[in-house]
Amino acid sequence: MVVLAAAAMVACGSKSPSPLSFPLGQPNVAYAKYFIGQSYLAVLDSVSGLCNVTFEPCCRNNWHIHHNAVQVLVCVNGRGWYQEWGKGAVELKPGMVVTVPAGTKHWHGAAADSWMQHLAYFTAQQPGFRNELMEQREQSDARINSAESRQKSSEAQWLEPVDDEHYSKL
C-alpha cells in the first residue's frame, strides 16, 4: 500500500496531458476550495449549460450533492473515478456515462496517473434549479469574486474532501 501511495504522489500534478478531446478551459478558481488538485472549466454551450471539466492527475472534488436536478457526466478523455456514498468507486473511461440522481452524495475526479476530462450537464431540473457551472463562468467573466455571490448561485451542497487515505486505495 505504501508503494502505491508513493507512486500516486509522483504522478500527481503532471503538467504534460495527453492530447485533450475538448478545450482545457480556465482554471476553476471559484471552486478551488472544493477540490484537491487543479481542475479547469470550459463552457461548451451557454444555452444548454454543457461544460467540460478537466482534472489533472489526482485532482478530485469533495463529496457533494446536487439538489433539484440530475447531473450527467460523460467521460471523454483519460481515466478517473466516480463514487456514490456507501458504494464502491467506479472507474471512468472515455465513453462512459454516469447519471447522478438528484440528492445523491458523490464525488468524481482523475485517476492518480491520468488526466481526465468529462462533460457535465444537468437534466430533470426541478423548480428553482440553477446551473452553478454556468454561473461560475459568468461570474468569472464579469470578474465577480465575492464568496457571497458564489454561494447564492450554488446549487451544490459541498461536503468533506475525499482524503488521501481513501483515494490511495483506488
At residue 129, what are phi and psi to the nearest 5 degrees?
Answer: -70, 140
Parent domain of 7: 2-167
Instruction: Dump pLDDT digits (tens) for 108-146.
Output: 999 999 999 999 998 876 655 555 554 554 544 443 333
Model confidence, pTM: 0.78
Contact status, residue 88 vs residue 69, Cβ threshold 8 Å: no
CB-count burial class (<10 Å; 0-12, 13-18, 19+) for 10: exposed
Number of domains comprising the chain: 1
CA distances 150 to 16, 37, 46, 143, 155, Å, are: 31, 20, 18, 12, 10
CATH number of 71's domain: 2.60.120.10
Contact status, residue 69 vs residue 127, Cβ threshold 8 Å: no
Question: What was the pLDDT predicted at 128?
Answer: 56
Contact status, residue 56 vs residue 39, Cβ threshold 8 Å: yes
Instruction: Dump pLDDT digits (tens) for 41-95.
Output: 999 988 888 999 999 999 999 999 998 889 999 999 999 999 999 999 999 999 9
Question: What was the pLDDT predicted at 38?
Answer: 95
Contact status, residue 118 vs residue 42, Cβ threshold 8 Å: no
